[in-house]
Structure 1
Amino acid sequence: MTIVIKVGGARAVDPAGALSDVASLYEDGESVAVVHGGSTAVDDTLERLGMEPEYVETPSGVVGRFTDEDTMEVFEMVFGHLNTQLVAGLQSLDVDAVGLNGVDGKLLHGPRKSAVRVKEDGKKKIKRGDHSGTIKEVNTDLLESLLDGSYVPVASPPMAGADDGEITPVNTDADRSAAAIAGALDGTLVLLTDVEGVYEDPDDPSTLIESVETAEEWAELEAAAEGFMSRKIMAAEEALDNGAEEVVIADANAEDPILSALDGSGTHLYQEALEDTQ
């Protein structure tokens, strides 16, 4: 079984503990893949360049980045830098890591969305010029070749977006990228973030939801998730629906964050719970 780890891109997330745990798992012979985000670093870079990050709300209420052509160039630059830094960090820990993005070998492939439906001032509109996509295929053969060769893939957006026969790099959500990879590999997904897991009361860490094993508990989980956490639940659902055995949402800044997550900390979501809702 492959353990797929998503290292979050929030400012409050320090990847050092996660990298150390990846090294421990690698040394023990475990099959490990890493996926990383970086939206916060993209926003910081845009601001330094005098550009304003743009976020839009879909008619269903989900808030996401609008990626125009200039933003896409910054996105590629920032994610390339972050990927190299993580690979170098793992290599320093004697992990044979290989960096790649979703365009490499069409690791993450699907249609480009050049126009998105948004809600502005209570009205539904079509906003054109977006560079984003929806993952429909994962190059599992590429991942398995690396894993079989005892390499640790370190993957990230952008994805390979198909647009009238052309392949172009486009933005896609890093959590959902990790979910697609975990599902394709029938693995366990560990989503590391800047909180301990999902809380029944988002403002009260003592209300941590430790396990979700039934349809009723899944409904309670969805009701509790707000903001960025709702996107992680969406990713978790996609991972479990596509073959992942388990998803853990856990604190990236905890001591031994991955090892402790695999040992029971955080919020654990199981395939059976999702199946019961369908």
Structure 2
Amino acid sequence: MSGANGGSDADSPPVVVKIGGAKAVDPAGAIGDVADLVADGRHVVVVHGGSTVVDETITRLGMEPEYVESASGVTGRFTDAETMEAFTMAMAGKLNTELTALFRSAGVDAVGLSGVDGGLLSGPRKSAVRVVENGKKKIRRGEHSGRIESVNADLLDGLLADGYTPVCSPPMAGEESDDTITPVNTDADRAAAAVAGALDAELVLLTDVAGVYADPDDPETVIDSAATPAGFESVKSAAEGFMGKKVMAAREALTEGAPRVIVADANVENPIVSALDGTGTTIERAAVVEDGASGADGENGADENAEAKAEVDG
């Protein structure tokens, strides 16, 4: 197989593939594509979510999944201690192991990792969140979540150099005030974005729709690409619900070093290769980072990233 966009895959930047955790996402096509890309010399890191299985595990344990709305209107899971136990069982225990086995069955020398392993994904634990309940702002304590501030890129680079394909998932390593580590929840799209930024990798966000729709109710209105700030604003304005988090993740990846991000359908034939070849919605780095500016220091990149954090952190 020749590399997407010409040349051999060995000469191309790494690819970070985020496989969605919704029940409607079939990973089979992505697994085959990763196997082909790796066989052709491309470095690939897989990051996966698992919201559906987490909810099923929570319910099986006799609890109710709880979602809360932040002060800025973003809906997310409230993860208390019991929920965090179920989350870790489902994500690191069940899903990561099963997905790693599927990759190995396809001939990929996959290594399963949670964000805690080797300090792969780390940042301060958030033990309280500001939420809106019945129109009133409240503080909910006992939360187990965090914002990724550090990626152990050396760990990933070492595995890739040795021929392994990392398969990564939350939880992340939550840093406590006494320097201990607590496994905590973090958004899988943003985890994939952090990894892509740390590796200067292309990011493919696979989901159950064909991309970002200009009209959220019309699949025929896929926005093909955004290569300018105006184009990115159009994408951001069109993104609703879960897609808004993916666009937020795309912005974070691009400002931290990813050359481009593609939001694409996981359920088409050869979903990753097709995305790299132009299907879905492609967001170029120039859409969020001014020419010649670094992601962390560029004025546009810094402002966008700060806004993204505020949207989630409330």
Could you tell me the TM-score, scaled by structure 1's length? Answer: 0.99
Partner of 1:104: 117
Residue 195 (structure 1) aligned with residue 214 (structure 2)? no
Partner of 2:231: 217
Amino acid at match of 2:209: V
Amino acid at match of 2:107: D
Three-state SS of the structure 2 residue aligned to 1:5 is strand
Task: Output the aligned Cα RMSD.
Answer: 0.9
Partner of 1:121: 134
Between the aligned partners of 1:270 and 1:229, the Cα distance in structure 2 is 17
Between the aligned partners of 2:265 and 2:56, the Cα distance in structure 1 is 23
Amino acid at match of 2:227: E
Three-state SS of the structure 2 residue aligned to 1:109 is strand
Residue 181 (structure 1) aligned with residue 200 (structure 2)? no
Q: 1:215 Cα deviation (Å)?
A: 1.1
Between the aligned partners of 1:5 and 1:58, the Cα distance in structure 2 is 28
Q: 2:163 aligns with which of 147, 150, 157?
A: 150
Q: Deviation string for 1:9-59 (max 9, x for gaps)?
A: 001001011000000001101001000000111011112222110001111
Residue 159 (structure 1) aligned with residue 187 (structure 2)? no
Partner of 1:207: 221
Partner of 2:51: 39
Partner of 2:103: 90
Residue 138 (structure 1) aligned with residue 155 (structure 2)? no
Amino acid at match of 1:233: V
Three-state SS of the structure 1 residue aligned to 2:288 is helix
Q: 1:63 Cα deviation (Å)?
A: 0.4
Q: State the aligned residue count.
A: 278
User: What is the identity percentage for the equivalent residue pairs of Structure 1 and Structure 2?
Assistant: 63
Q: 1:124 Cα deviation (Å)?
A: 1.3
Between the aligned partners of 2:73 and 2:99, the Cα distance in structure 1 is 33
Partner of 2:67: 55
Partner of 2:247: 233
Between the aligned partners of 1:166 and 1:45, the Cα distance in structure 2 is 27
Q: 2:184 aligns with which of 159, 164, 170?
A: 170
Q: 1:236 Cα deviation (Å)?
A: 0.4
Q: Deviation string for 1:67-86 (max 9, x for gaps)?
A: 01011001111012111111
Alignment of 1:256-267 (within 5 A): 256-267=270-281
Three-state SS of the structure 1 residue aligned to 2:289 is helix
Q: Which runs of 4+ in 1 moved over 6 A?
A: none
Partner of 2:82: 70
Amino acid at match of 1:95: V
Q: Deviation string for 1:113-168 (max 9, x for gaps)?
A: 00001111221111100000110000010000000001000000000000121101
Between the aligned partners of 2:94 and 2:55, the Cα distance in structure 1 is 14
Could you tell me the TM-score, scaled by structure 2's length? Answer: 0.87
Between the aligned partners of 1:23 and 1:267, the Cα distance in structure 2 is 23
Partner of 2:8: none
Between the aligned partners of 2:132 and 2:77, the Cα distance in structure 1 is 13
Tell me which of the two structures has the higher relative contact order, counting C-alpha pairs closer than 8 angstroms and 6 or more residues apart: 1
Between the aligned partners of 2:253 and 2:174, the Cα distance in structure 1 is 20
Between the aligned partners of 2:198 and 2:232, the Cα distance in structure 1 is 23
Residue 254 (structure 1) aligned with residue 268 (structure 2)? yes
Partner of 1:23: 35
Between the aligned partners of 2:129 and 2:168, the Cα distance in structure 1 is 26
Q: 1:225 Cα deviation (Å)?
A: 0.4
Between the aligned partners of 1:47 and 1:201, the Cα distance in structure 2 is 34
Three-state SS of the structure 2 residue aligned to 1:130 is strand
Q: Deviation string for 1:168-190 (max 9, x for gaps)?
A: 10000000000000000000000
Q: 1:268 aligns with which of 254, 262, 282?
A: 282
Between the aligned partners of 1:83 and 1:45, the Cα distance in structure 2 is 14
Three-state SS of the structure 2 residue aligned to 1:60 is coil
